[in-house]
């Protein structure tokens, strides 16, 4: 029997599939050490809005969510 060792690409893709996009971007932001203050300045909102959004206690506009994701992806 051959043991299949998934590549890191496939493992990351599978993990991403198992979580919501919000969870994925939260973890990616933390991994990249991007602070709430840094991303809030880029988006043009308060640090507390970012915190509430990530905890699921508040929504953001689609435009702000796109900026949030784009900033995290580019860093």
pLDDT in tens, the chain (75 residues): 545 455 666 766 776 677 888 999 999 999 999 999 999 999 999 999 999 999 999 999 999 999 999 999 999
Any idea what the Cα angle at residue 41 is, between residues 40 and 46, rounded to 5°?
A: 45
Sign (positive/negative) of CA torsion 16, 60, 52, 31? positive
Residues in the chain: 75
Considering the entire predicted model, what is its pTM?
Answer: 0.75
Domain ranges for the chain, please list them: 21-74
The CATH classification number of 21-74 equals: 1.10.260.40
Question: Under a CB-based contact definition with an 8 Å cutoff, are residues 22 and 56 in contact?
Answer: yes
The tokens for 25 are: 């971007």
């Amino acid at each position: 029997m051959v043991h299949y060792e998934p590549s890191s690409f496939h493992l990351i893709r599978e993990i991403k599939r198992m979580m919501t996009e919000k969870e994925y971007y939260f973890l990616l932001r933390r991994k990249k050490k991007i602070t709430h203050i840094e991303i809030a300045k880029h988006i043009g909102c308060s640090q507390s809005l970012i915190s509430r959004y990530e905890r699921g206690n508040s929504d953001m506009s689609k435009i702000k969510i796109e900026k949030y994701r784009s900033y995290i992806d580019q860093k």
